[in-house]
Amino acid sequence: MKCFTCDDDARAVCKFCGRAICLAHRKCHVLFLGYGKKTPSAIFDGGSNTGITVQDASWCGKCTPEHQKTY
C-alpha cells in the first residue's frame, strides 16, 4: 500500500477516513470510541464506562474529524 500524499510505502492507516499514510506524513489526533446508554435515565446517572479515548491515533491530516454527541 502507498501513502496517499507521496506514494512512499504506507506504515499506518488514518483511523478517521482510512487513507494510507507513511511515517513522514502521519499525524496524531484524539480519537473517542464509544456509545451511550439507551435508557432515558442515562443522562442523569453520572455517565458510564462505555467508551475509550485514544490520545495518539493515526491521522492523515487531510480529513476533518467531527465530534458527534452520544446519549
What is the per-residue pLDDT across 4-39, written as a single tens digit (0 to 9) for each?
999 999 999 999 999 999 999 999 999 988 766 666
Q: In the predicted model, what is the mean pLDDT of residues 33-60?
A: 74
Amino acid at 41: S
φ, ψ at 51 (rounded to 5°):
-155, 165
**What per-residue confidence (pLDDT) applies to 38?**
60
> Which residues lie closer than 8 Å to 61 by C-beta, 6 or more apart?
25, 27
Q: Residue 53 domain-assigned?
A: yes
**What per-residue confidence (pLDDT) applies to 36?**
62
Q: Does the predicted model carry a pTM greater than 0.85?
A: no
User: How many domains is the chain partitioned into structurally?
Assistant: 1
What are the angstrom distances between the C-alpha of 71 and each of 27, 32, 68?
A: 29, 14, 10
Residue 59, C-alpha cell as written in the block = 491521522
Residue 51 domain boundaries: 12-59
Q: Residue 4 domain-assigned?
A: no
